[in-house]
Amino acid sequence: MRLVLLGAPGSGKGTQAARLKEYLDVPHISTGDLLRAEVAAGSPLGLQAKEVMARGDLVSDEILLGMLRDRFSRDDTRNGFILDGYPRNLAQAAALDQLLADLGQKFDAAVQLTVDNEQIIERLAGRAKAEGRADDSPESVRHRLNVYDQQTAPVIEFYRQHGQLTVVDGVGSLDDVFTRIVEAIAPEKAVG
Ligand code: AP5
pLDDT tens digit string along 160-191? 999 999 999 999 999 999 999 999 998 666 55
pLDDT at 63: 97
pLDDT at 124: 98
User: How far, in Å, from the CA of 11 to the mean position of ligand 1?
Assistant: 7
Give the start-to-end residue ranges of the domains of the chain: 2-185
- Is the pLDDT at 192 greater than 50? The verdict is no
pLDDT in tens, 4-39: 999 999 999 999 999 999 999 999 999 999 999 999
pLDDT at 186: 80
- Is the pLDDT at 155 greater than 50? The verdict is yes
**Of these residues, 2, 55, 71, 133, which one is catalytic?**
133
Residue 88 among the catalytic residues = yes
Query: 109 phi and psi, to 5 degrees?
Result: -160, 145
Confirm or reject: Cβ of 34 under 6 Å from ligand 1. Answer: no
pLDDT > 90: what percent of the chain? 95
Ligand 1 atom closest to Cα of 84? 3
pLDDT in tens, 39-92: 999 999 999 999 999 999 999 999 999 999 999 999 999 999 999 999 999 999
Q: Assess if CATH 3.60.40.10 describes domain 2-185.
A: no
What is the residue with the minimal CA distance to atom 48 of ligand 1?
12
What burial class does residue 75 get, using C-beta atoms within 10 Å of its C-beta: 0-12 exposed, 13-18 middle, 19+ buried? exposed
User: How far, in Å, from the CA of 124 to the mean position of ligand 1?
Assistant: 9
For residues 122 and 141, what is the distance between their CA atoms, to the nearest angstrom? 10
pLDDT at 189: 62
On average, the pLDDT of the chain sits at 95
For residues 189 and 173, what is the distance between their CA atoms, to the nearest angstrom? 20
Residue 74 among the catalytic residues = no
